[in-house]
Chains A and B, each alone.
Chain A
């Protein structure tokens, strides 16, 4: 009951603070990247009474600004920053001499489908300079293997993800960090690099070794240079897409051997902290599994005098507990990961667990135990979410049993999810092995606003796209893309690259179709199971989607009127990137058992041609003199022996 009252007062406080902070933000438009709105840590309010409400906003406001100073980086411009980062906690900059910092957190979101989405994020910040040939040799928290990769290959930014399974946007909503099925790698090189392709080739081979993955299969036939879809996420002065390389391997299968090297990059390994939960036999018994590494330079302070390198390791899992839970709808950390938490990583400056309770303010959907008095609110993917927070650095979190086993027990299974505003799917149409058509459907579910999306398609060369058959239709009308960047393929050298900027009308489905022809390959170019088909990587759709929070008219009622007339900037839209399904396309196959036969038969035909012409060219017509029969010849031989004239 006490917890309930506390949370109630906290909610009140939050709303009050939010309105103040938004008012401030609308004035201070120079503040960039103020995404982490409404980030409040209520450790104080839990112990204090509601009398302080007159003074508290001032205090909180200062803390909020402090957050801004800490979090904001010039690179976090609207389109670049992914709002997907789960709520960040305040990192007190009390020990600046350490210069590196490690944070870990786990966000758990019960999904409406009954599944559980768990998202781990581990962030290492290091104030150092890998650029300009600096020799960095002393490593503390930052993994040395990746540090060496960055300096050797002059990497500006590196993003790599390994994903098993497909994220079902319509059932699960948007993920915090999107990733396509298979492996995805995109790298911005520094502008000092001259031979980008050579660097890229070496880098993929090195990463292939580090992550035990088949990244060495990335070559020029599946690498593209997107012109608009992938912009640097950190601070960067390179925007020329010559320094960008993007490749996906949709066929890549992710398993334990990729997880183990990924875990080794963590400062605490899997010995302590949240990483003890990462047991592979449980993680891979899931509907969706994605692990990623993102490296980028970020600003150290608001003025961006010094830069630091950020390594963000993320792991997203969706557990399908509803079907595997023997009919009982309840889950716990132990049930999911077969582990409970006993301590935070000692090297971490912050270690927290967030449970998304936005849809459950009155505990009518599920109940959470042990209860926590801490609440936090954040604007995630344009939606205002409320989280229960467990701070693992505080002993009180673990209670008397010295271990934390979060338990959620469902009470009801109704409740509906707001449809994701942007959603896409893709399929191949047509029959036979000669031609086909790729259909990409993009849904704009916003009731009244249209927004532009950038569609990126990278199609392998053996599906020969015919760009003149490209059609974009929405609501039955032709929708002309305002920007098209098309690079045709070269056989056995490079894939097709198609980038388009399309405006999606409100509440509509936009269909993009393009026809292709299936090539017959050389028999050595087929995969070992050619009749399984060939994978075509996911389309990437990047967009600024109008925020749900800005759409929500109810929230304006509880705000001061002066704050809500014009929709404020940071709430108006958010960046989202979604991936469609990869395609599986069959190609015509030759008979693989036939090479000798074919060589023999075709050469025979050529020889027949050559022979008959040679015959006619070199010989001349003559009268046939019949040769004597065998008996006559033998008789002649005998007669010759006898000395008698022949017959």
Chain B
């Protein structure tokens, strides 16, 4: 099992190294789908140049990386390509190991349930076999490493790859049950781009499930664990923020990084929903809609946690997808992270309703992005609405994809409780509807 992974890594690194040497690098690095104002490598270099000139990188509005990133690349700027390839490999390996561990647990749980005879008798075809689960971790690593979105993101040296690595390490340490590391990596991810804050809920649920702590608000052990985790999380966040302060000697980075993420002043087009909406917004409604859109990202955490409290890993997937769709400066790199989880849910495929349509739309949109961008920006024969229309369609497709998986997951759980072939009262075959 380790040999295919090694081979995969070699192939992935070779592709990236070849692309780094090609003339595509400059082209990819400018693509608005691949880099956002937050993650562009050009802006990292600009921040380093400003440091060299003796100007604070946060005194202007070009550099929005966190101080740790700028200090990382202060030393690694000559090895940037290796760093980004390494980040991708780390992400893939972390996801591989996490999914492997997760699958083992799923299988164990399924075995207990089978032994306890908890499944209805006609559900046997829903039971997952070790054979089909065997290649899932490898497929996850492959989905991440060979995904064109990841490759583009890596070739453009988008710092999104580093954020993904941190989140992947967080997932790994959570699934391995390491509370401290999980809290530290979560705080790192939050520090990098606020939104992973919502991954707090699945981490708590998973770790409690692992330590057999019931999710019950009246139990002291529940609250004790929450306080423990929150303390570790906030403590490491505090340490990181103070460290950043001491590195630069000022708090300038707080408004420049987090203010920039939350208030969306830069309307450079990207694949998200924010840029055109706020470019066309009436000024006196701006603050209102800004609040609505930002709350929207965090809003789904609590209802999803309640609904999926027994399935925290699926909750992580859902949260990653929601963040990637509704965040203020999304790139295809964010998309790649949650797409890597799709092989984990391959057993849901029989319940997916419109996977074909959605995948066609996603593919078509990915192809149309550069085309319509060219027509708008270079040829001048289209206008901004064309590109905007594609971003809308792309996001609708993502939403449909995620909600489809969510539907399939819930439906499978329903079938595992009530049986696969449901009958009406009169004995005829029944259809299942949401009510």
Closest chain A CB from B384 CB (angstroms): 5
Q: Are A468 and B269 in contact (CB under 8 A)?
A: no
Contacting residues, chain B, for A566 (C-beta < 8 A): none
A residues 595-610 near B (Cβ < 8 Å) are 595, 598-599, 601-602, 605-606, 608-610
- With A467-B53, A617-B304 already in contact, the answer to whether A605 and B273 are too (CB < 8 A) is yes
| A401 on interface, CB distance cutoff 8 Å | no
Contacting residues, chain B, for A206 (C-beta < 8 A): none
Q: Are B399 and A599 in contact (CB under 8 A)?
A: no
Pick out which of these stretches binds chain B: A81-89, A254-262, A429-437, A537-545: A429-437
| A416 on interface, CB distance cutoff 8 Å | no
Q: How far is the CA of A228 from the CA of B289 in the complex (A)?
A: 44
- With A490-B60, A595-B282 already in contact, the answer to whether A617 and B303 are too (CB < 8 A) is yes
Pick out which of these stretches binds chain A: B15-23, B178-186, B230-238, B407-415: B407-415
| B131 on interface, CB distance cutoff 8 Å | no
Interface 1/0 per residue, B381-407 and A, CB below 8 Å: 001110010001001100110010011
Q: How far is the CA of A486 from the CA of B268 in the complex (A)?
A: 24
Contacting residues, chain B, for A606 (C-beta < 8 A): 273, 293, 296, 326
Q: Are B280 and A598 in contact (CB under 8 A)?
A: yes
Contacting residues, chain B, for A520 (C-beta < 8 A): 267-269, 275, 279, 384
Closest chain A CB from B372 CB (angstroms): 13
Q: How far is the CA of A231 from the CA of B221 in the complex (A)?
A: 71
Contacting residues, chain A, for B269 (C-beta < 8 A): 520, 588
Pick out which of these stretches binds chain A: B43-51, B137-145, B355-363: B43-51
- With A434-B30, A591-B383, A605-B392 already in contact, the answer to whether A621 and B410 are too (CB < 8 A) is yes
| A363 on interface, CB distance cutoff 8 Å | no
| B433 on interface, CB distance cutoff 8 Å | yes
| A464 on interface, CB distance cutoff 8 Å | yes
Q: Are B62 and A488 in contact (CB under 8 A)?
A: yes
Q: How far is the CA of A604 from the CA of B377 in the complex (A)?
A: 26
| B73 on interface, CB distance cutoff 8 Å | no
- With A605-B395, A619-B434 already in contact, the answer to whether A491 and B283 are too (CB < 8 A) is no
Q: Are A467 and B406 in contact (CB under 8 A)?
A: no
Contacting residues, chain B, for A487 (C-beta < 8 A): 55, 59-60
Q: How far is the CA of A431 from the CA of B378 in the complex (A)?
A: 7
Q: How far is the CA of A524 from the CA of B267 in the complex (A)?
A: 13
| A461 on interface, CB distance cutoff 8 Å | yes
| B325 on interface, CB distance cutoff 8 Å | yes
| A371 on interface, CB distance cutoff 8 Å | no
Contacts across chains A and B counted by CB atoms under 8 Å: 168
Interface 1/0 per residue, A618-647 and B, CB below 8 Å: 011111110000000000000000000000
Contacting residues, chain A, for B53 (C-beta < 8 A): 467, 484, 486
Pick out which of these stretches binds chain A: B159-167, B332-340, B424-432: B424-432
Closest chain B CB from A613 CB (angstroms): 6
> Which of B384, B396, B410, B433 meets A616, CB within 8 Å?
B410
Q: Are A491 and B266 in contact (CB under 8 A)?
A: yes
Q: Which of A517, A594, A609, A615 has the most CB of B within 10 A?
A: A609
B residues 52-72 near A (Cβ < 8 Å) are 53, 55, 59-62
Decide if the interface of chain B is mainly helix, strand, loop or mixed: helix
| A519 on interface, CB distance cutoff 8 Å | yes
Q: Which of B61, B280, B411, B424 has the most CB of A within 10 A?
A: B280
Closest chain B CB from A564 CB (angstroms): 45
Contacting residues, chain B, for A464 (C-beta < 8 A): 61-62
Q: Are B280 and A488 in contact (CB under 8 A)?
A: no
- With A431-B378, A519-B267, A590-B384 already in contact, the answer to whether A621 and B411 are too (CB < 8 A) is yes
Decide if the interface of chain A is mainly helix, strand, loop or mixed: mixed
| B11 on interface, CB distance cutoff 8 Å | no
Contacting residues, chain B, for A617 (C-beta < 8 A): 303-304, 307
| B107 on interface, CB distance cutoff 8 Å | no
- With A468-B45, A523-B279, A595-B281 already in contact, the answer to whether A608 and B411 are too (CB < 8 A) is no
A residues 473-519 near B (Cβ < 8 Å) are 484, 486-492, 496, 517, 519
Q: How far is the CA of A569 from the CA of B277 in the complex (A)?
A: 63
| B347 on interface, CB distance cutoff 8 Å | no
Q: Which of A488, A490, A595 has the most CB of B within 10 A?
A: A488
Closest chain A CB from B143 CB (angstroms): 23
Q: How far is the CA of A289 from the CA of B17 in the complex (A)?
A: 59
> Which of B48, B280, B414, B435 meets A595, CB within 8 Å?
B280
Q: Are B60 and A488 in contact (CB under 8 A)?
A: yes
Closest chain B CB from A148 CB (angstroms): 37
- With A435-B30, A489-B61, A594-B280 already in contact, the answer to whether A466 and B434 are too (CB < 8 A) is no
Number of contacting residues on B, CB 8 A? 65
Contacting residues, chain B, for A492 (C-beta < 8 A): 265
| B376 on interface, CB distance cutoff 8 Å | yes
Contacting residues, chain A, for B396 (C-beta < 8 A): 605, 608
Contacting residues, chain A, for B278 (C-beta < 8 A): 522
Q: Are B275 and A620 in contact (CB under 8 A)?
A: no
- With A467-B53, A520-B267, A602-B276 already in contact, the answer to whether A588 and B399 are too (CB < 8 A) is no
Q: How far is the CA of A478 from the CA of B154 in the complex (A)?
A: 32
Q: Are A523 and B280 in contact (CB under 8 A)?
A: yes
| A66 on interface, CB distance cutoff 8 Å | no
| A612 on interface, CB distance cutoff 8 Å | yes
Chain B, residue nearest A594 (CB)? B280
Q: How far is the CA of A490 from the CA of B259 in the complex (A)?
A: 13
> Which of A468, A524, A591 meets B49, CB within 8 Å?
A468
Q: Which of B296, B326, B403 has the most CB of A within 10 A?
A: B403
Q: Are A613 and B431 in contact (CB under 8 A)?
A: no
Q: Are A591 and B61 in contact (CB under 8 A)?
A: no
Q: Are B432 and A624 in contact (CB under 8 A)?
A: yes
| A521 on interface, CB distance cutoff 8 Å | yes
Closest chain B CB from A459 CB (angstroms): 12
Contacting residues, chain B, for A394 (C-beta < 8 A): none
Q: Are B267 and A521 in contact (CB under 8 A)?
A: yes
Interface 1/0 per residue, B116-138 and A, CB below 8 Å: 00000000000000000000000
- With A433-B377, A621-B414 already in contact, the answer to whether A610 and B432 are too (CB < 8 A) is no
Closest chain B CB from A537 CB (angstroms): 19
Contacting residues, chain A, for B176 (C-beta < 8 A): none
A residues 426-448 near B (Cβ < 8 Å) are 431-435
Closest chain B CB from A457 CB (angstroms): 15
Closest chain A CB from B127 CB (angstroms): 20
Q: Are B279 and A620 in contact (CB under 8 A)?
A: no
Interface 1/0 per residue, A79-119 and B, CB below 8 Å: 00000000000000000000000000000000000000000
> Which of A434, A599, A609 meets B281, CB within 8 Å?
A599
B residues 335-354 near A (Cβ < 8 Å) are none
| A192 on interface, CB distance cutoff 8 Å | no
Q: How far is the CA of A158 from the CA of B150 in the complex (A)?
A: 57
Closest chain B CB from A524 CB (angstroms): 6
Q: How far is the CA of A524 from the CA of B278 in the complex (A)?
A: 11
| A413 on interface, CB distance cutoff 8 Å | no
| B246 on interface, CB distance cutoff 8 Å | no
Q: Are A489 and B60 in contact (CB under 8 A)?
A: yes
Q: How far is the CA of A346 from the CA of B400 in the complex (A)?
A: 86
Q: Are A623 and B432 in contact (CB under 8 A)?
A: yes
Known: A519-B267, A589-B384, A609-B326. 4 other contacts (CB 8 A): A591-B280, A599-B280, A599-B289, A621-B434
Chain A residues proximal to chain B, CB less than 8 Å: 431-435, 461, 464-468, 484, 486-492, 496, 517, 519-524, 588-591, 594-595, 598-599, 601-602, 605-606, 608-610, 612-613, 615-617, 619-625
Chain B residues proximal to chain A, CB less than 8 Å: 30, 32, 42, 45-46, 48-50, 53, 55, 59-62, 265-269, 273, 275-283, 289, 293, 296, 300, 303-304, 307, 325-326, 376-378, 383-385, 388, 392, 395-396, 399-400, 403, 406-407, 410-411, 414, 422, 424-425, 430-435
Q: Which 10 A-B pairs have the closest CB atoms?
A: A488-B60, A468-B49, A612-B403, A619-B434, A598-B280, A432-B378, A623-B430, A602-B277, A609-B399, A595-B280
